Amino acid sequence: MPRQTKDESPSAELLNSIDTVQNVDGDARADSASDTVQNIDGDARANAASDSDVQEQVEVVDVASGSPLPGMKLDESVTIPKATIDILKDQVFGFDTFFVTSHEPYEGGILFKGNLRGVPAKSFEKITTRLQNKFGDEYKVFLLINPEDEKPVAVVVPKQTLEPATGAIPEWAAAAVFGVVTIFTLLLRNVPVLQDNLLSTFDNLELLKDGLSGALVTALIVGVHEIGHILAAKDVGVKLAVPYFVPSWQIGSFGAITRIVNIVRNREDLLKVAAAGPVAGFSLGFVLLLLGFILPPSDGLGLVVDPTVFHESFLLGGLAKLILGDALKEGTQLAINPLVLWAWAGLLINAINSIPAGELDGGRIAFAMWGRKISSRLSSVTIGLLGLSSLFSDVAFYWVVLIFFLQRGPIAPLSEEITEPENNYIGIGVAILFLGLLVCLPYPFPFDPSQLTDFDL
């Protein structure tokens, strides 16, 4: 959140002035309580009425000064009148949900500080129901954590200010262009002859057909990943924009960038949507990887590789050592089913998207599990490590640039950010981050035990 500024309007002085007018001398109060209320001096009543008018004018708070919530752009020409604020304080919030102790202008809305009562999810449901009953769809309420003191706050903004902006170019048109380029790079990635000389690609387009099988396998894993997101989003009522597939000449594709269009209800819903893609993609990729190690090549020859390729991934190297056994020796080439490398490319794409940074799947998973503050720090550390890795890897360099310019966040606020997901969903999220780490980290051990020195043992 942006830094809040305390409301220093003259409301308190006006209220004190009214109290002074109403506290007339003791003789008048002694007659009767009723007479005291009704028979106040005419001039005093006039002054109080005048002060009340001034107060009403002062408390029509102008809140047209920018975006009150991280990752959101709001209309800057909206005001919330005092009468609405009073209803929010007295009739929408309450002792049983969120007891308001103070409120202040918060750029595009009003921020309410106070004490959260009961279970956050249930209290938020009561608040939203009351808000709907009083104002219909005019306002939207958020229950968030104040980054300044780590205490719950409620933010109310006019709903009309949350309408998304439309771009000059339709999303589907831009996504189609990215998709065509990604198909090209998927084919190119599976034709080593063209990869060695990229400039010759357009003179030898007929060779791209040799990469069709590998491109289909990798595209299938990436496609299943995106279908996982779509199905989970539909289940929890989250709207997704058209996915933008990101081309990569190194591994074919970096997956897809998919915006969340509407406001997600809570952290568990965000975790379900963010985790569904990697769960689907990792599951299919892992099965295909195992099949590649077990099944003989369809042409009886296979793809001849150097064992050093298996050192690029801890998961890949560990499975290769477990399944291939003594056949896997340093410096000795061996033939494998090309499905191994095709599936590994799909797993790598899933792993890269599971990095806990920005608005990647991993960044959203980290935010859903641990909250905005911890996930933001983790994201900064991750981007920093990627920056160091980019000194040695062109893939890391490409990816850190994409994250920094397109996906670094912040993640848009959820309706209710206080309630943590259930433990079983947190377990799935941790497993995804851990599996992504196993895919990305190198395998450091030699495949031939005889190459271990006495010192290593």
Residues 128, 262, single domain; the answer is no
Buried b (16+ CB within 10 A) or exposed e, 234-255: eebebebebbbbbbbbbbbbbb
Helix (H, G, I), strand (E, B) or coil at 104: strand
User: Is residue 72 one of the residues assigned to a domain?
Assistant: no
Residues 95, 177, single domain; the answer is no
Alpha-carbon torsion (24, 30, 33, 36), positive or negative: negative
- Look at residues 161, 182, 197 and tell me which one is the last residue of a structural domain: 161
User: Is residue 361 one of the residues assigned to a domain?
Assistant: yes
Q: pLDDT tens track of the chain, all 457 residues?
A: 444 433 433 333 323 433 433 333 444 333 433 343 344 344 434 444 444 443 333 333 333 333 335 655 555 556 788 899 999 999 999 999 999 999 988 877 899 999 999 999 999 999 999 999 999 999 999 999 988 888 999 999 998 777 655 555 678 888 899 999 999 989 888 887 776 666 666 777 778 888 899 999 999 999 999 999 999 999 999 999 999 998 988 888 989 989 899 999 999 999 999 999 999 999 999 999 999 999 887 766 688 889 899 999 999 999 999 999 888 888 888 889 999 999 999 999 999 999 999 899 999 999 999 999 999 999 989 888 888 888 887 777 877 787 777 677 788 899 999 999 999 999 999 999 999 999 999 999 988 766 655 444 4
User: Is residue 233 one of the residues assigned to a domain?
Assistant: yes
- In 30-97, beta strands by DSSP E: 61-62, 79-80
Residues 100, 248, single domain; the answer is no
Domains: count for the chain: 2
Residues 258, 125, single domain; the answer is no
Residue 49 backbone class (left: φ over 0; alpha: ψ -120 to 50; beta: rest): alpha
Residues 279, 303, single domain; the answer is yes
pTM: 0.79
Instruction: Identify the residue whose tokens are 């000064």.
Output: 65
Helix (H, G, I), strand (E, B) or coil at 406: helix
- Token digits of residue 128: 């939203």
d(CA 238, CA 36): 58
Residues 92, 203, single domain; the answer is no
Range of the domain at 191: 171-450
User: Is residue 386 one of the residues assigned to a domain?
Assistant: yes
Among candidate residues 438, 251, 226, 287, the one with its CA nearest the CA of residue 351 = 438
Residues 146, 295, single domain; the answer is no
